[in-house]
Amino acid sequence: MSEESLNQLDNELEANTVEAVPVPAPNTGVPGQLAGGGGNAPEPLSMGAVLRVVTMRRLWYAQIVSTFGDFLALFAVITYMTFRLHATPQQVTGIQIAYLLPIALISVISGVFVDRWPVKTTLVSSDFLRAGLCLLLLLVHTVYGFYAVLAAISVISSFFGPAQGVAIRSAVPLHGLRSANALMQQVMFILRIIGPSVAILLVGAFGAKICYWLDSASFIASGSLIASLALIVPRKTPPAPVDGQPVLKEKTGIPRILADMKVGAGFILNHAGLLFVIAALAAGMFVLGCFGPLIAVYVRDVLHALTKTYSIASGMIGAGLLVGVNALNAFAKKMSNTLQVYLGLGGIALGTLLLAAIPTVATTILGCFLIGFSTAGIIVPSQTLVQQETPPELMGRVGSTLMSAIFTAQILGLVLSGILAQHTSIRGVFGLCTALLVALIVAGKLWMEPAAHPALT
């Protein structure tokens, strides 16, 4: 999207613009319960209302341009490796692992720094650093060279993701967070669908390097948009002396990092609601990770169908995600986030059960759409609950833990799907996924039941 188009969109919304308002940490004195609960809870904000918040709108623009550039570069690398370097399927899968693994490993630590660094500086620096790293792709011509550059970009992304969550949390009122998260996920899903096609066209017409240049430019545009914002993020006040006793000197270096990590982990482990939604989102991502490598073989060996069926079935996941994000945000405003997560887990379980128990083309297409639709029912409410329940001074650590859980689950799905299929069968793997999801629903109801919230939360 060009700068001229962005300015035009900005002008159309300017008349009804409101300024970003820093959102205080919800605190009712009851663990897991939001402030403002009860019958007087405000009506959830729509996507349009959320976009009238200046800060949120600019963050959304930045998400559009940087995500589009990201997908162009990623699929350009895959195309180049497949058709120019003649990479094996394992090497192509390695691209995904090289991009996911650093985020999975580093995010827990990066959240500590996000909670202490200025949010805008973190976001802008991350974008500009990634812009420079993308240009290194111009010099790479080997499989392991691509792995190294993508892994380096992923390391920087592990700081950007949690910081973006802090920025959204500070800019949008609590009753608008669901729509804000839906907007950001909508961008991801739409560009995930169209990104491969655009990248293939560009690579075919101009070569892969044009995509690397565009990705670098997109990060510069994103960083420039964020740099224009006035982010107001509540920070933890320094401890005051008690009864004349001096304040203990704060730890420094590695002991300080470990202490901060312990605080973040302790908050999550002692908060049943957060622990549940993180586990639920990880389970959903694990199923999607298993699904990706196996669905083509499932269509070929179980359904004995053609590549057209595989294309339709794969597309149904993306279509389900996109429809789910928009439908749930429009028609499930009165439904609690917790109920959406349970229904999302149940819907994914039903989809995997259809694939395992009734192997026909029709049930495969339905099951894939249901998995995508139901995954949307987990992603947005889970992110919203994390933002609503977490104190501002812990947002980086909790948000990065969520990222780590998501990417770790995806990697485990990619790696374990083939191993499990060899020891059982593809249908057996889908059956195991169904059992995992059902077990999580039961465990959630018995031991990790989140506190009751008003409909908007």
- What CATH homologous superfamily does 45-227 map to? MFS general substrate transporter like domains (1.20.1250.20)
List residues bridging with 242 in a β-sheet: 245
Domain ranges of the chain: 45-227, 260-447
CA distance linking residue 340 with residue 101, whole number of Å: 29
CA distance linking residue 76 with residue 200, whole number of Å: 7
The pLDDT value given to residue 8: 54
CA–CA distances in Å: residue 242 to residues 246, 248, 259: 7, 11, 22
CA distance linking residue 166 with residue 115, whole number of Å: 9
% of the chain with per-residue pLDDT over 90 = 28
CA–CA distances in Å: residue 91 to residues 76, 311, 421: 15, 22, 20
Confidence grade of residue 136 (pLDDT, cut at 50, 70, 90) = very high
Coil, strand or helix at 242: strand
The pLDDT value given to residue 451: 54
The pLDDT value given to residue 82: 83
pLDDT tens per residue, range 145-194: 999 999 999 999 999 999 999 999 888 988 898 899 989 988 888 887 78
pLDDT tens per residue, range 307-325: 788 878 878 888 898 898 8
The pLDDT value given to residue 34: 38
Greatest mean pLDDT range, 12-26, 396-410, 436-450: 396-410
The pLDDT value given to residue 205: 87
Confidence grade of residue 237 (pLDDT, cut at 50, 70, 90) = low
The pLDDT value given to residue 21: 41
Coil, strand or helix at 415: helix
Coil, strand or helix at 434: helix
Greatest mean pLDDT range, 92-101, 274-283, 431-440: 431-440
In this structure, whether the domain defined by 260-447 belongs to CATH 2.10.60.10 is answered with no
The pLDDT value given to residue 20: 40
The pLDDT value given to residue 269: 85
% of the chain with per-residue pLDDT over 70 = 84
Instruction: Give me the helices (H) in 20-53, please.
Output: 47-51
CA 288, chain centre distance (Å): 13
pLDDT tens per residue, range 332-352: 777 888 888 999 999 999 999
CA distance linking residue 397 with residue 113, whole number of Å: 8
Selected residue with higher pLDDT from 439 and 92? 439
The pLDDT value given to residue 377: 87
The pLDDT value given to residue 350: 96
pLDDT tens per residue, range 354-407: 999 999 999 999 999 999 999 988 988 888 888 888 888 888 889 888 889 888
